[in-house]
Structure 1
């Protein structure tokens, strides 16, 4: 899963599937993003805001995928609110592993071990299986999609997911390189969905980011060069020559996102995977939402993005629909 796939692994979808959007929510605890990782001291203050967000999604015809981690699964309030939406068929639930807050807590808590794929595999597997079992028990549904916290896949993560019957992984953040902080390098991974294994039992749905600008075809090469010349990326963006646009309201304006959607649609990407972190639903928990005005802007981002996708006839989809529509033969 850590190496870029071959072109032959590209997934195909049934006729009529067209191009779709999938909204994924990293549904997790509140913690200080600037502080060292800690197994304790986190909060769940934002959880009450999930109800309003779910109502908002239902109002615009979107069924979000809540990728829940251990503190969320242990929250009776979170399970009640999200579980109701799941039972009504208005949302789906998946797995997100934050190893530093997930039992068993036997490893040293640090930046390296914050990527689950860096842990000894038996420990990664044990944490994952405990989380999966709790989700299945508390939500009375079988989670079919996984995202490693911090996008931290490891060399044996694919086998772990297949053994657990997980059909879809969405941990790859294409065009991003986390190797400087002990994480994986996805800078060479494609945007399109692909099969991880020869048996075509595990589908990868990369989180969508695109290159925009006159030099976007040379984006990968320029990004590699930017590692040696850190100022290069900012210069390219200011000159509108090259910009990396992630489809998230966190740090990306609606205007930028619409440009990114144009690129993704023009390139024929079948699934545009949008993402953000649930603590952004309450001001003060992430760098992206510090005030109620910022929160209003987040909701407006979603309104504009989905209204624009509607004009392009790019409709929302779900994990269940993707599983039904992807062609495994």
Structure 2
């Protein structure tokens, strides 16, 4: 049976079920990547890895909170001796996990032109997308001593061939889908019609999709899936509707989202009976000066306080941390 394309919304029958004792869970994912200037054109060479040393502090923080983060690693990180040294002990003890994140512009083989269109791996030829993925998968396994089973396309840039490439490459979980977001203006996919709950990408239940959690809040929440996509050509209306309390899109991330907003989204996710909440963070935000979200030490302090508040709220609502391993053990096949 052929795979369903990641970029196509699935049928309702594809929604995944979990064992009854799985309960309410959340997964913390970290897009673990090089630093680059988000305001400049992409480059194969103009990046740095100065923030990597700060990943150690974040891992210790997560361990203190009883959280098992999954670090979705791209090519520059996979080749960093420091990253291996920092994450190695946590991986060996089961206190962290690693997966794959493909940034095609810094990932060999370098056969394509560096363009906005080609920054979405799913836009590459199937042969080139597969070659980049397999080189990265093998590099991560060699460097970190564990075979990654989870994947996320950089910039959420999955394509029509990605699911087949992943299944043939031993991947059990994809997390490239960002529901309620549309990247067509930049040449990427449109995920506005995709569900937030986990679902299967094949009828044999071999490849599971874990969408990043995004919810709508506001008085018009019930109709937001229909109304919000119409704002694609009039983005200023998003701010108007948000300020009026009519409609607000809230992804579960500390980057640009306040703790109050995230707590509201968590509560709505619980109300909607989502079995799994998927949080995300870019690793360069773990040090000041590398992303628009953490410019200085005060911003970094706020990021850690955001996580403290969120983890406390999750515990108080009996939403427990999970891991890739636990998800695979508890999903009903």
Q: TM-score, normalised by structure 2?
A: 0.98
Q: Aligned runs of 1:28-39 on 2, under 5 Å?
A: 28-39=33-44
Task: For residue 227 of structure 1, report the CA deviation from its aligned partner.
Answer: 2.2
Q: 1:263 aligns with which of 268, 282, 285?
A: 268
Q: Aligned runs of 1:1-329 on 2, under 5 Å?
A: 1-328=6-333
**Could you report, residue by residue, the CA deviation over 1:25-62 in whole angstroms, capped at 9, with x for unpaired residues?**
00000100000000002100000001100000000000
2:228 and 2:254 mapped to 1: Cα distance?
22
Task: For residue 224 of structure 1, report the CA deviation from its aligned partner.
Answer: 2.1
- Determine helix, strand or coil for the equivalent of 1:166: coil
Task: For residue 22 of structure 1, report the CA deviation from its aligned partner.
Answer: 0.2
- Determine helix, strand or coil for the equivalent of 1:227: helix
Task: For residue 231 of structure 1, report the CA deviation from its aligned partner.
Answer: 2.4
Task: For residue 322 of structure 1, report the CA deviation from its aligned partner.
Answer: 0.1
Where structure 1 has 5 or more consecutive residues not aligned to the other structure, the ranges are none
**Could you report, residue by residue, the CA deviation over 1:174-198 in whole angstroms, capped at 9, with x for unpaired residues?**
1100001100000110000000011
Task: For residue 158 of structure 1, report the CA deviation from its aligned partner.
Answer: 0.3
Where structure 2 has 5 or more consecutive residues not aligned to the other structure, the ranges are 1-5
- Determine helix, strand or coil for the equivalent of 1:327: coil
Task: For residue 320 of structure 1, report the CA deviation from its aligned partner.
Answer: 0.1
Q: Which runs of 4+ in 1 moved over 6 A?
A: none
Task: For residue 217 of structure 1, report the CA deviation from its aligned partner.
Answer: 1.2
Task: For residue 18 of structure 1, report the CA deviation from its aligned partner.
Answer: 1.0
Q: TM-score, normalised by structure 1?
A: 0.99
1:270 and 1:78 mapped to 2: Cα distance?
32
1:219 and 1:201 mapped to 2: Cα distance?
32
Question: What do you get for the CA RMSD once the two structures are aligned?
Answer: 0.7
